[in-house]
Chains A and B, each alone.
Chain A
């Protein structure tokens, strides 16, 4: 499917790599002006360069773990006075057993995944209402069920799913839609980092391939393609949904 998002403005957080980059790429190819958020100006610039540069790519670096980061990202993204699509994609995911989960680890996950997604919406709200825009909060299949050694991430992603529902209800009268996307494991740089950290990359990948009944990981591009669909008029009746796009991982076991 192809979409025409010419004249639309989007902010994608965590767009330097992985799914965020794939979503930014898809939106940019569809004609949108895309603000690229990542932690550093260098990461944003690199992503913009990979996308070919030009007037429809805006840099919006900010550290989303800080309380003022989300506002900074939105301010940079909305200098043109317009915002149609807010994609809260930025996340951290560091596996740790319960006993090893310290305050810094807990706070980083809760702040980047949950608080930052709230604060970007709050900061962008007047412009989203004006455009009758669309919010996509990228949660995870781990917003719907749990695995071990990921307590902070699982808690934050579950919170993001319910927060999306609260936003959808509150903003429905304004014509602003909010949905939570719950992807399964994707073959991203983050996944490769986790696999490398595990000490046995091949075994890690094999376990996650098995974990998804379809027997493979998702590609960021196929998830991004669905996000473009979700932003389109084809999905105009969808709001407050938690959409599993997970190769069957939350549906059952093989």
Chain B
């Protein structure tokens, strides 16, 4: 299978897009290191997947907002072929209400953690001619009101992708997959806190040309495409898996 013999480390993989990508890597032969912030969530995800994929699943807990924990995490990961930086956070707040804590945590988790993990795992990734896949967002390309820190962090993640790709070629391929609105806890929380839940859900769907939000597995497929040994001429790529959100819109 496509990922036979490959070890893939996916951050933020106890739920949402990361969980879907991890499951797809396992189904296609890979060994996966799961990651979540809470040990209990990690244990539950490992228990859920390991019976079907014995010997190919393990899990690690760490808070990506803490760069010392990111460095320990990289040490615990050890050897790998593919790093998927999928862990992310999303705070909704106006410019006026975006306090230092929201700003710093958003940049730390969505940008600095992918940077620290990439840098820490670089020796082994170089040695194995590995791949880094960062999970961006359509908000890396489009400005949205009410999430200035998130847009800044995801735009910067595209910059990180391009900078790493430029400097690490030809040893390590580095790509960014940018999902549009996806049926995850992140989106459900945003919808649940909106004044009109149904309208908020419809608005997310209408951001896309397909008039629906993505299933996590659809984004997982785009991540596997980026990580695939069939994608050997793709590096520095920003792959929009956004249902056309950035391609066009209706008047």
Contact = CB atoms under 8 A, between A and B. Distances in A.
A, B in one complex: yes
A166 B162 contact: no
B151 A165 contact: yes
A158 B141 contact: no
* Main secondary structure on B side of the interface with A: helix
A155 B116 CA distance: 13
Nearest to B141: A162
Interface size class of B (residues with CB under 8 A): 35 or more
A114 B156 contact: yes
Contacts of B153: 159
Contact of B143 (A106, A118, A157, A166): A166
B47 interface: no
Interface stretch (B91-99, B185-193, B198-206, B207-215): B91-99
Contacts of A147: 163, 166
Given A106-B115, A151-B167, A162 B162 contact: no
Contact of A98 (B103, B154, B168): B168
A106 B100 CA distance: 18
Contacts, number: 127
Interface string B97-123: 010100100010001100100010010
A67 interface: yes
Given A99-B119, A115-B103, A163-B152, A170 B166 contact: no
B155 interface: yes
A159 B152 contact: yes
B147 interface: yes
A167 interface: yes
A114 B55 CA distance: 44
Interface residues of A, number: 42
A232 to B, nearest CB: 23
Interface string A156-183: 1111111111111111000000000000
A145 B160 CA distance: 10
Given A118-B103, A125-B95, A151-B115, A166 B163 contact: no
B148 to A, nearest CB: 5
B46 interface: no
B155 A171 contact: no
Contacts of A145: 162
Q: Which of B67, B156, B164 has the most CB of A within 10 A?
A: B156
A167 B159 CA distance: 19
Contacts of B240: none
Interface string B63-103: 00001000000000000000000000000001110101001
B67 A103 contact: yes
28 contacts: A98-B119, A98-B164, A106-B112, A118-B98, A118-B152, A121-B95, A142-B159, A146-B165, A148-B163, A148-B166, A148-B167, A151-B164, A154-B159, A155-B160, A157-B159, A159-B153, A159-B155, A160-B152, A160-B155, A162-B141, A162-B152, A162-B158, A163-B151, A163-B152, A163-B155, A166-B151, A166-B152, A167-B95
Given A101-B119, A155-B160, A156-B156, 12 more contacts: A106-B115, A122-B95, A125-B95, A154-B160, A155-B156, A156-B159, A158-B155, A158-B158, A159-B155, A162-B140, A165-B143, A169-B143
